[in-house]
Amino acid sequence: MHNLEASSAWWYFINRIFRYLRTEPAVRPANLKGRKLPDPIHDETFMRQALAQAEQAYRHDEVPVGAVVVLDGRVIGRGHNLTRRLQDVSAHAEFLAMREAAGWLGHWYFNKCTLYVTVEPCMMCAGVLVLGRMTRLVYGAAEPKFGSCGSIFNLVEEQRFNHRVSVTRGVLAEECAALMKKFFSGLRER
């Protein structure tokens, strides 16, 4: 199979899986022209949707991280960690939400999009945000061990890169951190 055909088949397979796994269908914007950033007042609303995704991950015994991609005030991609279920180290919430959003957009540039994620992204996910030209990142809880958007490194605002992501930190941080603590304390008790 030619590499292009294999890549297309892979994307088709991944998109089918994510359409099956999501709880609510993402809404494709009716008009992608004249895009604008969501109003920052709605950060808590969208973070609550990311928290709902994190709770799904928690119920499936995954690290409870959830993410949503928003364009023009509409969710166009959702995801939660599936690393254990898929046995895929890259199946982080941010990756999965961005893959679904790319399917809706028809391309992988996330100009004018905002990613809401419950926990600060790791190096891998921060790199994808920069490469995908995500306009804005909003996260809840800081990640002191792996966080790469301000805690350990700050890849998304690195001045030497040709793209930087605007970051809003600490939205619903206590609720996001509480879910993580609940998950890891449950692991320790086992």
Query: Which sequence positions are flagged as catalytic?
Result: 94
Alpha-carbon distance 85 to 5, whole Å?
26
Sign of the torsion angle spanned by Cα atoms 179, 184, 189, 190: positive
DSSP line for 127-185: HHHHHTT-SEEEEEE--TTT-TBTTS-BGGG-TTSS---EEEE-TTHHHHHHHHHHHHH
